[in-house]
Structure 1
Amino acid sequence: MSELTGTTAPARPPAGRPPAPDPLAARLALLRSRVLRAVAERAAADPEAADDPLRGLYISDESALRLLDLPAGPLLPDPHEEEQAREIGAPARLAAVAAAFGLSAHDTDLLLVALAPDLDPRLERAYAYLNDDVSARRATTGLALRLCGSAQGSLQGRAALAPEGPLRSGGLLVVEDDGQPYASRPLRVPDRVTDHLLGRDTPPPGLARHLLGSSRAPGRVPAPLPDALTGVVTRLARAVTRPGLVYVRDRHGGPGPLVAESALHESEKGVLRVSLPSGADPEETGGLLRAALLEARLTGSGLVLEHAEALGDDPTAVRRAIEPLTALGVPVVLVGHRPWDARWAVALPLSLDCPTLREADRARLWRRELSAGDRGVAGTAGGVPEAAVTAVARYRLSPGQIRAAAEAACRRAVADGGEVEAGDLAAAARASAGGALGRFTRRVVPAVSWADLVLPEPTGSLVRDVAHRARHRDRVLGAWRMRPGGGRGQGVTALFSGPSGTGKTLAAEVVAAELGLELCVVDLAAVVDKYVGETQKHLDLVFQEAETVDAVLLFDEADAVFGRRSAGRDAQDRHANSETAYLLARLETFDGVAVLTTNLYAHLDPAFLRRFDVVAHFPAPGAQERRALWDRCLGGLPRAEDLDLDRLARGFDLPGGAIRCCAVTAAYGVAVTGGPVTTEDLLSAVRAEYAKLGRRYVEETETTGPRPGPGPAYRRRPGGG
């Protein structure tokens, strides 16, 4: 083991070639010589015995009388040591750190003095002797200044160790114990700085947990970028050639981080990508940012900070976190979804809007990732049907999410011992796109298809139109710009209205299944809050998360929050009107797919109707639709040969939801008896359904004819509810 650094000694060089000197070890050897001179100077004037075991723990009477005679001024320089220092030169990493942090020769000497006890344990006791305290084994402020030839009270020395100086503001040096007198405050070099000077470049655990990727090899990104991104990448690459902050506004799931990383590579810089944690304590976030800045400056990398919205909503807190990013000599790219707020920083950064990826761009990214040689499945892209790639390209995933989904699909194929199939891609894409929408929604994985939906033709066409719009919105609203201006989003919104049980919720699930997305049902009981302004905050969170996870958002019984605005006679009306006004504006900026259902069409505010892309009315099913519903709801249930579904369809005016309940009731009865389902079993289930609804059981026949109104299924009992 090396006596100086505590590391394993390098292999012996070949004979005839002298070993290469270690500049850092040589500089520390010169420092050790300087410390020995200081010890000798102190010992010559020290009245206490050098072998006193209690030395440094007490002050004797004789010592107290001679304390002021001890040497306290700067250690005089030694011309021989200075000449040796010039011959040795600065170690490569120390010189790079000095250049990156703007350190003077005096600052570099102070850093070496503070670093020395961590590399040479013998210097601990020497420092303790010079500090006259056996527990003070680090260099103190006064000792460091003295060893570097500065007086403790000199302006230059105090400026070098001031909080705004390059050593402390850059995170290279920590002055501890501010309660002590200035000259007695110990100095400490963070372990990450020590490791870097010794040649180790592993980020600390606190930073590694939030590190999404790092690259210290400058140069262009080997993977080609979509054409839509090259312009903003070129502009950003020119901006990051100078230190400072650049803000990239990106939509949820957009390519903003990839654009920032590509721009830094183009400007010949390494890249450090950090994800800011949501809901973290401000102190924790500040510590993470300081660690990220230190890592970026040590490695000569640019810094990409994702999820800027995690900094919070308080402008003062955001400004406190952002200000250090603008003061240090590191190019920093902050990626967020919100517009830049002028209150976040004194100096306005360059702000860029990142374009979203089109479906064709996402398809190319899928093919490229699936054909990568390190995915574990050779020739994968060629074995995947083009229809499957086109289908998963509909998911509005970022390039990073596409890369992760492709890796997951390939790992699944390797585990199954085969090629990547369409199901593997769909499952991986859904897992990448899906996410928790907090406590305000319930996630549903669609398990239905168009065959499960029985609707009259006009309504069925409108429901299919919702899926068509969601599938082609990138072309129509993006490439063709058919909804320009006004800050409008590229979302698709639909309103399904009609009586209960007519298939509105089922239709929303079928649309989600057609698009290959999850259905997120909003829990209105959790969204609506009695406190002023809280409902809007909850709804905004729901809309934001729905855009992030790329799911179909379902507001069931939407009239609870999308009701008509009133005249505003009291404060309660005004607050309700403000919620409705917020929803009107938020629907226009929404970038996802949202479906609203209601049984009370007349209760909706008319201003919402213009903002819906599709408005479909679900009527009560006729006899033909009821016949198809009975057949579909019975599914694989064993049926008797004389089962008369036409009688059930003609005789009982039931909606689809009630028919499904009757079929389930009959299925439980068949499970007990073990026989096939008969007409009588279904009639018994219909009677039970009528009793559950408090209705009078009457079967329609051709002789009696249809009755006016809603039909016998909804006729109230005399005196009943």
Structure 2
Amino acid sequence: MNPHPAFVEDKTNIQYLEAAISAIEQAVIDYSDRQEQDTASSVDIPSILANVSATINNSPALKYLCNTFSLSLFECQILLLCVAQALLPYFSQLCAKAEGDEHLAYPSFGLAMRLFANASGSVLLPMSPLQYWQLVQVATNQEITKCRLQIDNSILLYLLGEPYQDERLIHLIQPIQETNSDLPLQSSHQNIAERIAAIWLRTEVASTLPVVQLCGLEVSDKWAIANIACQMIERSLKIISARNLPTDSTDINNFIRRWERQVALTNDLLLIDCEQLNLAESGLNTAILQLIQNIHTPLIISTEDRLYSPRRPLITFEVEKLSPEEQQNIWHSCLSTTTPELKEQIPVLVSQFNLNTLAIQSACLRVQNQQTNSQTTPTNYSELSHQLWDICRTMARPQLDDLAQHINASANWDDLVLPELQKKILRDLIAQVRQRAKVYWEWGFAGKGNRGLGVSALFAGSPGTGKTMAAEVIAKELRLDLYRIDLSAVVSKYIGETEKNLRRIFDAAEAGGAILLFDEADALFGKRSEVKDSHDRHANVEVSYLLQRMEAYQGLAILTTNLKNSLDQAFMRRLRFVISFPFPDVKSRAEIWRCIFPQKIPTQGLDFEKLSQLNLAGGNIRNIALNAAFNAAEAGEPIMMKHLLSAAQSEYFKLEKTLTDAEIRGWL
């Protein structure tokens, strides 16, 4: 593809313009002399320009611009009249002299019609190329023939040989951020880029090119595909956020015209970033649809969900996340140049962290930088792999602050007092999460279907029996993030909003395989009711959607409930593990009391066998221990039975229970 004249050497364009405006200047002077003496002959401007052009090997910007926008010779001369006004400091005086009026010291349509023999009244029409493409700005405070004409500043700079950039769009439209990556697109994404390029090449001669939309969760992947497709047809990709689009109908049409002018002079291609938009905003949605309908240059839309244009069909490509095999290819390419000793960990990383290309590259560079900057370089594979794992976990950490609470998992197996059977099931659960790479991909179970590749579990038991602590133990053992879902923020009375919130949770958690803890899940996942009204149908849709996402989610989802029997059997069938957390017996309560106090805390005369007589769950025991610690600290004493007695009385009062003599016999 031939370069645009904007990139021709500046002096070539300047040489041409100097000759052109010299001819224009002479024409104005000649006209003034003719008015005064009625003897001078007119200057043959076309001949002068033709002679100058013949000496230049490359087509200059002015010639290209006139041809591109189909300007008549008269319109080209008007444009040069405005160029002369912009570049020659004394030209306004020449115009005033020619007009015979000091108040008309500027180019105008009327002056041009008197200067040039090939004048045409069609230039006065708003749809004439000179006005339609806004090559000159026409003032509106006078009759049309006397209005001031001024060349658009972006066009003037282009004619001087500068790379074209519309000064009104420069703050709205940005070039794509180029990365230093030399990694090619993976095959699934490369195929999409090739198909898009083929569509554009087949329809390049059409008056209206198709609009392409890329749908999916990974923004960087979609933009990389769009960029490669542009490179294939030798175009440069520019990006505008849909939020920067004007919402007024006249303004959006003006934007389209300015952009199409830029495309004609630069061969750029536009991508509209529609990620995370609230299309319920009617003004924004209308602006996007108006742009789609009216634009005549290639356009890409990047969006998470499909947009529907009733008047102009869109060619849609679903950009799926990279497959495990493709992610492994990227990991191998990156680690081979940074830390090749970690290649054995790649299958485990891929099974846990669903990262895109940029994230994988960044993780590899960060672990390399940590090695370089650390005073104590890791000396063994285990330490280095833990560093890379934590880097991946941080990068993949979902942004769910408004819908979920990130829990710092600090509990360990010693803190968890449960019967051995329940502990064994928890260890089996952990083993399944750890061995997913081997079972699903090395042994081929993933080839049987993508659904059900995650691990789901139900923790059932009374409040305070250790359900949340067990989730913490799992998260710490697996070195994964734990998020407790705020059900009050998820459930909405508005139809469809609950499903949207659930989708955000699962989509955000998918990248890093975060552990999702739906606390008190029976509030949301109770038995599906018989359909009696629209509210029942809506509630059943929410449960059905949850069941679907639970099956598709490739991380670990834990549901806790106080009422196991309230859960629908259809839901129970989709759970991999169901673990009952029993109310602790006397022996278990004694063990909880022994584990509840930190090693540094001062105690004196505590009798754990007597404390175990309190018929309470572990959560209540922790409350008593904590309150007793504050009481002892305030008194300046170590924790003693008297402090625990006072705290126990307060806890029982809160529970509306009576503390019996048998429970506290022999405490003091």
TM-score range, shorter chain: 0.7 to 0.9
* 1:399 is the counterpart of 2:357: yes
Q: Which residue of 229, 253, 256 corresponds with 2:222? A: 256
Q: CA deviation at 1:501?
A: 1.4
Q: State the partner residue of 2:317.
A: 352
* Secondary structure, aligned partner of 2:277: helix
Residue number in structure 2 paired with 1:434: 397
Task: Single out whichever of 384-393 and 304-313 deviates more from structure 2.
Answer: 384-393
Distance in 2 (alpha carbons) for counterparts of 1:286 and 1:451: 68
Distance 2:159 2:45 in 1: 29
Contact 2:475 2:482 in 1 (8 A): yes
2:279 pairs, out of 307, 312, 316, with 312
Greater relative contact order (Cα < 8 A, sep 6+): 2
Give the SS at the match of 2:458: strand
Q: Distance in 2 between matches of 1:413 and 1:145?
A: 74
Alignment correspondent of 1:522: 485
Aligned partners of 1:535 and 1:354: how far apart in 2?
A: 25
Amino acid at match of 1:153: G
Counterpart mapping for 1:474-489 below 5 A: 480-481=445-446, 484=449
CA contact (8 A) 1:75 1:149 kept: no
Task: Return the match for 2:212 from 246, 249, 254.
Answer: 246
Residue pair 2:628, 2:643 contacting (<8 A) in 1 also: yes
Equivalent pair of 2:14/2:160 in contact (CA under 8 Å): no
User: Does the 8 Å contact 2:514/2:555 carry over to 1?
Assistant: yes
- Structure 1 36/301 Cα, relative in aligned 2: closer, same or farther at 3 Å? closer
Q: Indicate how the Cα distance of structure 1 residues 76 and 441 shifts in structure 2: closer, same or farther if over 3 A, else same.
A: farther
Residues 117 and 317 of structure 1: is their aligned pair in 2 closer, same or farther, counting only changes over 3 Å? same
- RMSD (Å), alpha carbons: 5.1
The aligned counterpart of 1:711 is none
How far apart, CA to CA, are the structure 1 residues paired with 2:245 and 2:408?
31
Relative distance call for 1:383 and 1:41 in structure 2 (3 A) is same
Q: Does residue 292 of structure 2 align to residue 322 of structure 1?
A: yes
Instruction: Tell me, in whole angstroms, the C-alpha distance in 2 between the residues paired with 1:416 and 1:578.
Output: 53
Matched, 1:616 2:579: yes
Any idea what the Cα deviations from partners look like across 1:233-264, whole Å, max 9, x if unmatched? 55455445455543333334673333333444
8 Å CA contact 1:502, 1:655 repeated in 2: yes
**Which residue does 1:559 correspond to in 2?**
522
> What SS is found at the alignment partner of 1:310?
coil
Q: Distance in 2 between matches of 1:517 and 1:205?
A: 48
For residues 661 and 113 of structure 1, the distance between their equivalents in structure 2, rounded to whole angstroms, comes to 86
Change (3 A) 1:431 1:290: farther
Name the residue aligned to 1:269. Answer: 234
Aligned to 1:222: 182
Aligned letter for 2:522? D
Is the 1:666–1:677 Cα contact (8 Å) retained in structure 2?
yes
Distance verdict in 2 for CA 1:600–1:286, change over 3 Å:
farther
Partner of residue 4, structure 1: none
Contact 1:499 1:620 in 2 (8 A): yes
Deviation at 1:561, TM superposition (A): 3.0
Structure 1, unaligned runs of 5 or more: 1-19, 48-68, 373-379, 704-721
How far apart are the structure 2 equivalents of 1:318 and 1:585? 32
Note the C-alpha offset of 1:500: 0.9
Residue 403 (structure 1) shift:
3.5
Give TM-score scaled by structure 1 length: 0.69
Q: Residues of 2 paired with 1:276 and 1:366: CA distance?
A: 31
Which residue of 45, 51, 55 maps to 1:83? 51
Instruction: Give how far 1:634 is off.
Output: 1.8
CA–CA distance in 1 between the matches of 2:109 and 2:422? 80
In the alignment, the residues of structure 2 paired with residue 200 and residue 235 of structure 1 have an alpha-carbon distance, to the nearest angstrom, of: 30
The 3 A distance-change label for structure 1 pair 23 and 248 is same
Q: Equivalent residue of 2:579, what SS?
A: strand
- Partner SS state of residue 629, structure 1: helix
Q: How many angstroms apart in 2 are the aligned matches of 1:293 and 1:577?
A: 49
Aligned partner of 1:335 in structure 2 is 302
Alignment length, in residue pairs? 632
Number of the residue aligned with 1:31: 20
Alignment of 1:447-596 (within 5 A): 447-463=410-426, 480-481=445-446, 484=449, 493-514=456-477, 516-547=479-510, 551-570=514-533, 572-584=535-547, 587=550, 593-596=556-559
**Aligned partner of residue 84 in structure 1, secondary structure:** helix
In structure 2, give the amino acid aligned to 1:400. Answer: L
Quote the Cα distance in structure 2 between the aligned partners of 1:542 and 1:466: 22
Residues 95-152 of structure 1 show CA distances to partners (whole Å, capped at 9, x for unaligned) of 77788x6766858777666555555555566567778887888765676788887534
Q: How does 1:700-715 map to 2 (within 5 A)?
A: none
Q: Does 1:633 align with 2:596?
A: yes
Q: Are 2:86 and 2:151, in contact at CA under 8 Å, matched by a contact in 1?
A: no
In 1, distance between residues paired with 2:348 and 2:113? 67
The reply on whether 1:40 has 2:40 as its aligned counterpart is no
Partner of 1:6: none
The 3 A distance-change label for structure 1 pair 674 and 279 is farther
Residue 500 of structure 1 aligns to a residue in which SS? coil
Q: 1:336 deviation in Å?
A: 3.0
What SS does the corresponding residue of 2:616 show, helix, strand or coil? coil
Taking the aligned partners of 2:220 and 2:105, their CA distance within structure 1 comes to 52
Q: Is the 8 A contact 1:271 1:304 kept in 2?
A: no
Change (3 A) 1:32 1:286: closer
- Percent identity among equivalent residues? 27
C-alpha distance in 2 between matches for 1:286 and 1:509: 56
TM-score by length of 2: 0.74
Q: Give the Cα–Cα distance (whole angstroms) in 2 for the partners of residues 43 and 604 of structure 1.
A: 95
Matches within 5 A, 1:175-254: 175=137, 183=145, 184=147, 186-191=149-154, 194=157, 198-199=161-162, 211=174, 213-214=176-177, 222-226=182-186, 229-239=189-199, 241=201, 243=204, 244=209, 245-252=211-218
Distance 2:97 2:478 in 1: 75
Contact 1:26 1:88 in 2 (8 A): no
Letter in 2 for 1:223: L
Distance 2:243 2:307 in 1: 18
Distance 1:120 1:432 in 2: 58
Counterpart for residue 5 of structure 2: none
Contact 1:444 1:521 in 2 (8 A): yes
**In the TM superposition, what whole-angstrom CA distance separates every residue of 1:332-362 from its partner, at most 9, and x where no partner exists?**
4433332463x2661442x333342245644
Q: Is the alpha carbon distance of 1:572 and 1:300 closer, same or farther for their aligned partners in structure 2, counting shifts above 3 Å?
A: closer
Distance 1:659 1:307, change over 3 A: farther
1:1-16 equivalences in 2 (<5 Å): none
Whole-angstrom distance in 1 between the partners of 2:586 and 2:650: 21
Contact kept in structure 2, 1:409 and 1:425, CA below 8 Å: yes
